[in-house]
Amino acid sequence: MTKQLLLGQTLGFDGDALADWQGATRHDSAGGVVIDAGLIVATGSGAALRAAHPDAAVTDYGDALISAGFVDAHMHYPQTPIIASWGKQLIDWLNTYTFPQEMRLADTDYARQVADTTLDLALAHGTTTLTSFCTIHPGSVDAWFEGAAARGMAVVGGKTCMDRNAPGGLRDTVQSAYDDSKALLDRWHGKGRATYAITPRFSPTSTPDQLAALGALWAERPEVLMQTHLSEQLPEIAWVRDLFPQSRDYLDTYEAFGLLGPKGLYGHAIHLEPREIDRLAEVDAAVVHCPTSNTFIGSGLFDMAGLAARGLRIGLATDTGGGSNFSMLRTMAAAYEIGQLRGTPLHPAQLMWLATEGSARSLHMGGQIGHLGVGSAADITVLDLSSTPAIAQRAAQATDIWEALFPTIMMGDDRAVRDVWVGGVRARA
């Protein structure tokens, strides 16, 4: 593989931009990134890198912005074909649109098509890592990891486990959930760039016995991630209370069965009790903010400022197809809007940090992906900050990088993605 030198504006981070964005931000208006054998091997001033690496092939992006590739910390690839389905809140949305669609992935050829479509859409939108729920069908997990491997992408995935409150074609059992998850994680975890996540959908669709079996599997394989949903919508929380009368709160339905741990990813986490926040912070678990989903399904306003102040790991995610857009730019915009509604708007640096470093940290992959720094995988997204006339006329008034970038965060889409590199290979011309 030839050594590559990418030139342009560069934006990277060292440290926690939610705590101190000025201190964490590294912006160079004439920067560069050197890639060798799939990794970033140098960053700095473009001119200095050009002098130090005369053997590198040069791609000059002018004043486009070179960033780490976006990391989507929670989504459902099987739901790509039902994105933007009208008029339902969570439980009705699952029953009306989601479960019938997920049943279709019993056909592994169809699962492959949906996985391929989703991965290509992600790359077109500048997303280089996705963290996906698959369906209950083991073939849907193979389809996901095979599709990602064909594109060189680091992805997370897991077989969604459900043994109650789902239609017949979408239920597994206590034993098959354990056996299939174990076989799949043995097959995929650590193979190439694949990471496995044990995946109970959410506590309403698993019996206590199934949750306990998956907790036991996680105890046997603590190196893998565990992903699920937590406190997304009020009627869901009331349902959990009815189904688990002994539990202190929603998080306790996971905690009691060994499903609370440092490598746990808890999607949504909107309506949390103080005890739940304390426990998530104590065990260093991650919560994942899914802003377009939370407004689209009508779930509520995530407390970014409050949870960040507790030092929680926080990822950012599309949650497609409950989320209404494949773009992490639109996802950042929605996170900004929710911050505004709570009176705590996020700075553009914090939005970019969440979409890259924050999500990577939530996945325990900090420094390996989502990072524009030496030693990280060369998963890189290059943004055109004047991709449409509306954005260009606003960016033309900018007096600093944040004013130049924010219009693209708020109004940008796949047209803003000038180029994408995955593992040091150009993914999109």
| Residues near ligand GUN (CB under 6 A) | 76, 90, 94, 98, 201-202, 229, 232, 293, 297, 319, 322
CB of 163 to ligand GUN, least distance (A): 14
d(CA 421, CA 425): 5
> Given the complex with Zn ion, which of 4 and 199 has the nearer CB atom?
199
CA atoms within 13 A on the CB side of 367: 5
Closest CB to ligand GUN among 270 and 404? 270
Query: Contact at 8 Å (CB) between 252 and 213?
Result: no
152 binds, among ligand GUN, Zn ion, none (CB under 5 to 8 A by kind): none
**Gyration radius of the chain over CA positions:** 21
Please identify the residue of the shown chain whose CB is closest to the bound ligand GUN: 322
Q: Which of 15, 17, 16, 14 is nearest to 347 (CA)?
A: 17
191 near 166, Cβ under 8 Å?
no
- 67 vs 131, which CB is nearer to ligand GUN? 131
* Least distance to Zn ion, CB of residue 202, Å: 8
293 binds, among Zn ion, ligand GUN, none (CB under 5 to 8 A by kind): ligand GUN
Residue 59 binding partner per list Zn ion, ligand GUN, none, with a CB distance cut-off of 5 to 8 Å that depends on partner kind: none
How many helices (H) and strands (E) would you count in the chain? Answer: 18, 16
Instruction: Candidates 35-43, 44-52, 216-224, 262-270: pick the segment binding Zn ion (CB under 5 A).
Output: 262-270
Closest contact distance (angstroms) between CB of 424 and ligand GUN is 34
Residue 382's binding partner among Zn ion, ligand GUN, none (Cβ under 5 to 8 angstroms by kind) is none
User: Whole-number minimum distance, CB 78 to ligand GUN, in Å?
Assistant: 9
* 232 in contact with Zn ion (CB under 5 A): no
**Residue whose CB is less far from ligand GUN, 276 or 379:** 276
Task: Name the DSSP class of 96.
Answer: I
- By CB under 5 A, the residues from 279 to 338 that bind Zn ion are 319
Closest contact distance (angstroms) between CB of 272 and ligand GUN is 16
Q: Closer to Zn ion by CB, 304 or 404: give it.
A: 304
Backbone φ, ψ for residue 300 (5° rounding): 140, -175
Which partner, Zn ion, ligand GUN, none, binds residue 255 by CB below 5 to 8 Å per kind?
none
Distance of alpha carbon 185 from alpha carbon 196, whole angstroms: 6
Residue 346 is classified by DSSP as P
Structure tokens at 405: 């970038």
Which residue's CB is nearer to ligand GUN, number 201 or number 279?
201
Q: Is 374 exposed, middle or buried (0-12, 13-18, 19+ CB in 10 A)?
A: middle
What's 414's DSSP letter?
G
Furthest-apart CA pair in the chain: how many Å? 67
Yes or no: say if 35 and 57 are a contact pair by the CB < 8 Å rule: no
In the list Zn ion, ligand GUN, none, the entry touching 384 (Cβ below 5 to 8 angstroms by class) is: none
Nearer to ligand GUN, 322 or 407 (CB): 322
**Cβ atoms 68, 376 nearer than 8 A:** yes
Residues that bind Zn ion (CB under 5 A): 267, 319
